Structure 1
Amino acid sequence: MSLLYAIGLPLIALLGVVPVRAQDRPRPGGELIFLVPSEPPSYDGHRESTFGVIHPLAPHYNTLLRVDPADRTGTRPVGDLVASWAISKDGLSYTFRLHQGVKFHDGTVMTPRDVKASYEKIIFPTARG
C-alpha cells in the first residue's frame, strides 16, 4: 500500500502542473437544441404566458424595448424596434420613435399602426381574436 502512495501521490501532483491545451475558440453559427418540458396551450405569443411558449417563441419576436445584455443588473432598457423614446413628465405617456425599414417576415414594412394593433390585441384579446 505504501508503494501505491509513493508512486500515486507524485503522479497526481505531476498531473496537476502539466499544462492543458486551450479549448477551441467559440465560433458563430451552429445549432442550439433545447428541450422545454411543457406542452403550450397555443403558440400565440400575445395570449400565452406559460414557460412552454415564452422560451421557444422568444427568438421569433422583437419587442419595442429589451433588457441591455451588457447590463449585469438586468435593469437597463435599450431599444429593440425603437430608435429612441421619451417619457412624459407625469410618467403616464411614452412616445416611441421606431427604427426605419423594419420588415415583417413577408417583407412588409412595420408601421406605428402595426404596433398599435399588437398592443390592442394584447389589451383586448377577444376584440382582436
Structure 2
Amino acid sequence: MFRIRAHHLLCIQGFQGYGYSSDFASNLGKVKRLLYEDDPKVAIITDIDDICALCPNYSMGRCKEFGSEVIAMDKKVLEITGIENGTIITFKEAIDKINDAFRGDEKIEKICKNCKWRGVCLFYSAHKS
C-alpha cells in the first residue's frame, strides 16, 4: 500500500518529469508508474508520503520549506473531494474522485494558485478553462 498526500493526487496526473531534484523527479515517476500499472490501495493523507521521501525539502519527518502551506493544500483537496484523511481506497478510485471533484477554475485555483509547477502541469492546464 502507498501513502499519498491528498494534493499529490493532482500532481501525479500532471507530472512531466520536472521536480525539486533529479532524485525526487525519478521517485515521483516511479511511484506514478507503479500506481497506474498496479492500481494498489492507497492511504490518502495530509502528511509526508511515498513521493516526499526523496524530496530535498524533506528532513526529519517533515517538509522543512513548505510544511504548513502543503498541509493546507492537502486539507483543501480533502474538503473539495469529500475524502477523509487516512481513507484507504484503490488508486483508480482516488483519481476518479479527484477528477469528478475538480471541474472549473475556482476549485483548481484554491489548490494550485501558488504552485511553482503549474506552468508545466498537465493537470492544471487540463482543468483550467
Greater helix content = 2
Band of TM-score, shorter chain: under 0.3
Instruction: Work out which of the two has the higher radius of gyration on C-alpha atoms and give 1 or 2.
Output: 1
Query: What TM-score does the superposition give when structure 2 sets the normalisation length?
Result: 0.24
